[in-house]
Structure 1
Amino acid sequence: MPRGHKNKRHARKKRHQTRGEAQACKGVQETVEEIPEAAEKSSAASQSQPGADSSSTPEAPERATPSASSTLSISSIESHESSFEESDEFQEKESPVEDQPCTIRPHQEMVAGKVIVLLQYLLHNYNLKQFTTKEDMLKLLTKKYEDDFPEIFRKASQKLEDAFAMEVREVNSSNPTYNLISKLKLPNNGRIRAGKGFPKTAFVMCVLGIILVKGNCASEEEIWQILKTKRIYPGKKHCIFGEPRKLLTHYLVKLNYLEYRQVAGSDPPRYEFLWGPKAYAETSKVKVLEYLAKTNQTTPGAISALYEEVLKGDREQTEARDEDN
């Protein structure tokens, strides 16, 4: 086969592969860039509550509900070096919009702000291992937004699902009460380690997606090459995922969500990741594709098509090598 045809085929395969990797990790990029403020502030909220329960079973103790004219403050995060498990102060801040009647702001923009407020509150109660009642959510949002509650609740739930792979599930219908549930059966409802913290489910789903797009096996170098573009670095604590190297190569391997093995014949040793038995037992390739598609606002077929193109390119390259031999 002419060398020019082989080069073009190889370049086309590389383009498809790169696009597939971007699809697989875009959800984590949104987690890192759009949600950490809510996550950080919700983590801060948890420890300030005296006597916060640290058991694994959520309870519903008496707690102060934010005042009608208050919203949770949102601080900007300049760096992702601090662990989300370290900051613990719940703060409220007067709403600059509601306290300034002359300020005109589109209603939908204000509703969008309330979505973030509710998201923070749900995460706050998650960190305290407490349920969240509909009554408390309505008090938080104020009577002014009572008619908008279904939309605000739906959008906040969707953001939590996209960012953390957590489902907002009703646990008591007689007195509407909700809890955040991990889409995988990770220990401590997605936190993995005992105590407070944010769920690692989205990280797991992303890594499973990378492995899937890479052809069911991804080298350690390939995993980190993609994660680094999303500001997730080995050995550096992340505000949501903690220390990612230990999470990737120790906890998830020990829990059998990932298989971590040496590349055959590699010297010096190189390592690669595959799906572990727990991943196959608790999810499927279709579900991972559906999750990635949802976070990327596309269809499972679009990601699947990219994956098929990568595999087709691999087969063509192998056939080309066979012809040359």
Structure 2
Amino acid sequence: MEPTENNQNFNHWDILQAQIEERAPGSAQGPIAEAGEVEAIATAPGDVLAGGTPSSPQSAQRAPPIIMDSMSGISGNPLAEVPDTEFPSQDGLNEKIIDLVRFLLVKFRRMELTSKEEMILRAMRDYEEHYSVIFSKAAECMKLIFGIDMLEVDPFVHSYFLHPALGITYDGMLHGVVGVPKTGLVIMVLCIIFIEDNCVSEEVFWHVMNTLGMQAGVDHFVFGEPRSLITEDFVEEEYVEYRQVPNSHPPRFELLWGPRAYAETTKMKILEFYASIVRQDPRSYPEKYAEALREEQERA
């Protein structure tokens, strides 16, 4: 697909084409500058893998189906969900979705509540009538890319608290690109390991990561250098075990869930997370669902 073919649709992975940077206090360029601290500016729209090195046909075929399904299922046309009355421009609507994601990243970093009223005021002025679609797309993007859930704490005023998804307590904001949540990357790594029978070779793992636009040794514009992040920081935090394959010459390595992953989340939560992203029932993956269900029963 040529980049221009998809430039009319908001794609959740456009937010991965963001430059996250510190802003000087007092800067006054739009609602996020007023809120301070973090700016995420979406750049070149395009295919799901835009911004990363295209994977080889072999790596694309080797990628677990659930991962590839998630890539094909997350893009969409937000205008399809907007009432026929007074259509906004597509670019304008996409911009407001991105503005809201930027604002929510600031609220997460500050550990502050936000509300429908504040989100409208700070991130979607003149688009109040399209609040529901802007909010749903931004919330989905926060969950998929950054691993951040929005918990409604007061349904009367629609106030929300942002927290890491799936019971994971690590946000990773001190690792890689400082100030950017990495919970979404942790979840992606755990999913790849789970789908690959709970132990994935380093070669296969990086084939899959390449399809997501992340290469070992190459800085990623959101997460930083992924190899050191995953095999050092995530290992140090005990979400990932990175070990040499016994008796391998030359040495080969593999990745497994670490003890903290097993303590904080479950295979079922990981499977349900991605099933919700691709809008399928977890039972669509019968073998993995059965495995996750057995773990749930053993934990009970």
TM value normalised by structure 1: 0.61
Unmatched segments (≥5 aa) in structure 1: 1-29, 52-62, 67-71, 82-104, 309-325
Kept after mapping to 2: 8 A contact 1:162/1:294 = no
1:29-54: CA deviations, max 9, x gaps? x76x42224x42xx34x423349xxx
Match for residue 25 of structure 2? 49
- The one-letter code of the counterpart of 1:268 is P
Match for residue 280 of structure 1? 262
- The one-letter code of the counterpart of 2:192 is I
Kept after mapping to 2: 8 A contact 1:133/1:176 = yes
2:98 to 107, 116, 119: 116
Residue 79 (structure 1) shift: 5.2
Q: Assess, with a 3 A threshold, how the Cα gap between structure 1 residues 276 and 74 changes in structure 2: closer, same or farther.
A: closer
SS of equivalent residue, structure 1 residue 147: helix
SS of equivalent residue, structure 1 residue 161: helix
Kept after mapping to 1: 8 A contact 2:176/2:229 = no
Alignment pair present for 1:36 and 2:16: yes
Q: How do 1:42-191 residues align onto structure 2 when only pairs under 5 Å count? A: 43-44=20-21, 46-50=22-26, 64=34, 74-76=42-44, 106-107=87-88, 109=90, 110-127=92-109, 131-141=113-123, 144-170=126-152, 177-183=159-165, 184-187=167-170, 189-191=171-173
CA–CA separation in structure 1 for the residues paired with 2:192 and 2:124 = 42
Match for residue 246 of structure 1? 228
Kept after mapping to 2: 8 A contact 1:209/1:289 = yes
CA–CA separation in structure 1 for the residues paired with 2:192 and 2:175 = 24
- The one-letter code of the counterpart of 2:101 is L
Match for residue 74 of structure 2? none
Kept after mapping to 2: 8 A contact 1:157/1:168 = yes
CA–CA separation in structure 1 for the residues paired with 2:135 and 2:160 = 11
CA–CA separation in structure 1 for the residues paired with 2:120 and 2:264 = 35
Q: Assess, with a 3 A threshold, how the Cα gap between structure 1 residues 108 and 298 changes in structure 2: closer, same or farther.
A: farther
Match for residue 321 of structure 1? none
- The one-letter code of the counterpart of 1:48 is A
1:179-238: CA deviations, max 9, x gaps? 431115344x34253994221112111111111111111111111111122221111111
Q: Assess, with a 3 A threshold, how the Cα gap between structure 1 residues 284 and 192 changes in structure 2: closer, same or farther.
A: farther
- The one-letter code of the counterpart of 1:238 is H
Residue 288 (structure 1) shift: 0.8
- The one-letter code of the counterpart of 1:49 is P
Match for residue 263 of structure 1? 245
CA–CA separation in structure 2 for the residues paired with 1:229 and 1:65 = 34
Q: CA RMSD in A?
A: 3.7
Residue 156 (structure 1) shift: 1.5
CA–CA separation in structure 2 for the residues paired with 1:65 and 1:261 = 43
CA–CA separation in structure 2 for the residues paired with 1:74 and 1:265 = 46
**Percent identity, aligned pairs only?**
32
CA–CA separation in structure 1 for the residues paired with 2:177 and 2:245 = 36
Match for residue 191 of structure 2? 209
Structure scoring higher RCO (CA < 8 A, sep ≥ 6) equals 1
Kept after mapping to 1: 8 A contact 2:148/2:163 = yes
Residue 287 (structure 1) shift: 0.8
Kept after mapping to 1: 8 A contact 2:15/2:42 = no
Kept after mapping to 1: 8 A contact 2:51/2:213 = no
CA–CA separation in structure 2 for the residues paired with 1:170 and 1:306 = 30
2:181 to 199, 213, 226: 199
TM value normalised by structure 2: 0.65
Kept after mapping to 2: 8 A contact 1:80/1:239 = no
4+ runs deviating over 6 angstroms? 172-175
Equivalent pairs counted in the alignment come to 236
Moved more, 248-257 or 146-155: 146-155
